Chain A
């Protein structure tokens, strides 16, 4: 797969623990945010999104929190499993960009069994 890991921060968690991946976004005008999961050699896979009129949204085993005051986004994964090991990207949609997204650099999540 892709030779990821040279420049990305890494989060290592024990299987069964909860994971929290953080993202600082840059544009205070952004009104839409997405988390993606990318496994080695594959394209990013949509996990969950949130609009700026919300501060929390829950999915299956995942929760996204948005703090617009400090321009911070987080992804919480409950009961982390080995299959959760991947690179996670946040993306923001600045309103003036139309339908284009700005992606963060990514965080590697390693799950230890």
Chain B
């Protein structure tokens, strides 16, 4: 069966520091991959979307970037964090074989910027 892993689970970083969050998927090939941010008491905002290695679509202008160095690895990065980057970051995958497939989420990383 397919599984998705995110780490770390929680992270506290100072303003201006770099960021690297990692997401890996097991048990499937060539998944669609997604990064979301969820602010407290809010819904999910799509940040990045990838259909393959090196293929990244950015959904909103921001201080973050994403990379997909391997088929089942998705990385969220920043060179210099801002206070507004605080939030709950979620990675998800979906099966691209057919249309209308659900996305499956990891358990997220809670990022606090001090």
Contact = CB atoms under 8 A, between A and B. Distances in A.
Interface residues of B, number: 29
Interface of A: 2-8, 31-32, 34, 36, 41-46, 49, 51, 89, 91, 93, 99-101, 103-106
Nearest to A4: B41
Interface of B: 6, 32, 34, 38, 40-44, 46, 49, 51, 59, 88, 90, 92, 94, 96, 99-108, 110
Contact of B49 (A32, A49, A100): A100
A88 to B, nearest CB: 11
A2 B43 contact: no
A101 B40 contact: no
Contacts of A3: 40-41
B105 A44 contact: yes
